[in-house]
């Protein structure tokens, strides 16, 4: 009996020794996104496209299944930070994906950096992350705020606008976007004649802000709003009767394909700049839109493309390290080195700061056959985030 027990133990331990340590353990991806609050729609869109990306590019590498652990930031910095700590220290995720808000990103950054956790930013554009707060543990598949907005100031001046009013939510992204617009517009010779910063959470009525804009009679109103506030703002702008008197321009998320239908007529004629337009003409974008439409019965948005590309970045990096995430630096180096032909063209990270290099599209919404969609009239190629203050 003793001998049999001994032989059984020997067999079991040799089996254990022959099995690669990580063979059966899943790769855990911590999805740190808003699933409630004003940016809930954006968090859900990024998640569904990330899941689609895993279906298309593979959800298993070298025997390790890729699984998602989802946490709701509510779009709030405090909540985002505590959920980040849970994902890193309790769930022990291999990589983080998210968040949507620049405010949440700023709150998470030091915890991610100090714990050396690979982090793929799938939306939030906080400029510091590709500047003074850059980190070897962070890449961004989305954009930096200045990357998308800065070209618009000069573009609007060159197209005849001289006096512009600004409006954006009162948090990091709102102020950064307006500051970059201002810099480009003033440098070109334009004047800012007023600025409004309503609270991000809970602004139900844009009326008092729009009344001031009406009174000031600007050549145009330039804004940044996204998600729930973007839907409300565009509707209020129309309802306030400004649609026919003051041209409305903004950072592209103002009329995302995700909610342009909900905005109705108010979305027509709006001018914007964006890092993705559904009509981009390349094979990878067609494949992505076909797959998204087949699954969700509608067009994939810019938020979705960022989730889809983030999934592919992680899958490709996992393949490069044979599914082994135990050497975190090797895994992160593999993430930074990923490149592929994606829906936005050649996907690659800037080696200086980890921010994606991409085209920026300037467009005006117009109505064709009853459908309001962006018509692109300028493409600024291969825009990089100026990484002056990033040292890694």
Interaction site with ligand BEZ (CB under 6 A): 100-102, 124-126, 173, 226, 253
- Nearer of residues 226 and 280 to ligand BEZ, judged by Cβ: 226
The minimum distance between CB 62 and ligand BEZ, in angstroms, equals 35
- Nearer of residues 255 and 325 to ligand BEZ, judged by Cβ: 255
The minimum distance between CB 223 and ligand BEZ, in angstroms, equals 12
- Nearer of residues 28 and 44 to ligand BEZ, judged by Cβ: 44
Reference 335, options 21, 26, 25, 29; nearest CA is 29
- Nearer of residues 106 and 334 to ligand BEZ, judged by Cβ: 106
The two most distant CA atoms of the chain are separated, in Å, by 95
For residues 52 and 290, what is the distance between their CA atoms, to the nearest angstrom? 11
The minimum distance between CB 376 and ligand BEZ, in angstroms, equals 19
For residues 102 and 91, what is the distance between their CA atoms, to the nearest angstrom? 24
The minimum distance between CB 128 and ligand BEZ, in angstroms, equals 11
Task: Decide: 310 and 141 in contact? Cβ < 8 Å.
Answer: yes
For residues 135 and 115, what is the distance between their CA atoms, to the nearest angstrom? 12
- Nearer of residues 122 and 173 to ligand BEZ, judged by Cβ: 173
β-bridge mates for residue 28, sequence order: 67
b (16+ CB within 10 A) / e for 299-323: bbbbbbbbbbbbbbbbbbbbebbeb
For residues 195 and 166, what is the distance between their CA atoms, to the nearest angstrom? 5
The minimum distance between CB 147 and ligand BEZ, in angstroms, equals 11
- Nearer of residues 196 and 316 to ligand BEZ, judged by Cβ: 196
The minimum distance between CB 66 and ligand BEZ, in angstroms, equals 26
Task: Decide: 358 and 379 in contact? Cβ < 8 Å.
Answer: no
Task: Decide: 224 and 272 in contact? Cβ < 8 Å.
Answer: no
Q: What letter does residue 23 receive in the DSSP assignment?
A: S
The minimum distance between CB 72 and ligand BEZ, in angstroms, equals 16
- Nearer of residues 185 and 225 to ligand BEZ, judged by Cβ: 225
For residues 122 and 32, what is the distance between their CA atoms, to the nearest angstrom? 10
For residues 309 and 305, what is the distance between their CA atoms, to the nearest angstrom? 6
């Amino acid at each position: 009996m003793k001998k049999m027990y001994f032989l059984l133990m020997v067999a079991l331990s040799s089996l254990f020794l022959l099995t690669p340590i990580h063979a059966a353990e899943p790769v855990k991806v911590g999805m740190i996104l808003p699933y409630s609050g004003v940016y809930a729609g954006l968090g859900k869109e990024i998640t569904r496209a990330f899941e689609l990306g895993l279906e298309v590019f593979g959800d298993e590498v070298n025997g390790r299944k890729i699984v998602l652990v989802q946490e709701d930031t509510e779009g709030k910095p405090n909540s985002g930070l505590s959920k980040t700590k849970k994902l890193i220290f309790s769930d022990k995720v291999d990589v983080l994906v998210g968040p949507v808000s620049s405010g949440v990103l700023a709150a998470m950054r030091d915890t991610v950096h100090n714990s050396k956790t690979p982090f793929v930013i799938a939306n939030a554009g906080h400029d510091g992350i590709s500047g003074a707060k850059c980190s070897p543990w962070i890449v961004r598949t989305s954009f930096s705020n200045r990357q998308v907005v800065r070209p618009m100031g000069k573009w609007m001046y060159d197209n005849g606008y001289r006096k512009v009013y600004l409006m954006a939510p009162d948090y990091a992204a709102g102020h950064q976007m307006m500051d970059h617009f201002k810099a480009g517009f003033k440098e070109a010779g334009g004047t800012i004649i007023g600025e409004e910063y309503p609270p991000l959470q809970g602004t139900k009525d844009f009326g008092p802000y729009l009344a001031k804009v009406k009174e000031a009679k600007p050549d145009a109103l330039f804004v940044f709003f996204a998600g729930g506030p973007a839907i409300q703002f565009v509707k209020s702008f129309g309802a306030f009767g400004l649609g026919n008197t003051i041209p409305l321009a903004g950072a592209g998320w103002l009329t995302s394909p995700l909610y342009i239908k909900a905005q109705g007529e108010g979305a027509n004629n709006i001018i914007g700049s964006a890092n993705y337009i559904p009509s981009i003409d390349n094979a990878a974008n067609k494949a992505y839109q076909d797959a998204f439409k087949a699954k969700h019965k509608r067009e994939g948005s810019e938020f979705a493309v960022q989730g889809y590309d983030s999934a592919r970045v992680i899958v490709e990096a996992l393949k490069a390290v044979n599914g082994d995430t135990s050497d975190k630096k090797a895994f992160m180096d593999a993430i930074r080195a990923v490149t592929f032909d994606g829906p936005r063209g050649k996907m690659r990270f800037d080696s200086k700061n980890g921010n994606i290099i991409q085209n920026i599209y300037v467009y005006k919404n117009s109505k064709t056959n009853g459908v309001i969609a962006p018509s692109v009239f300028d493409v600024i190629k291969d825009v990089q985030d100026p990484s002056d203050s990033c040292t890694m």
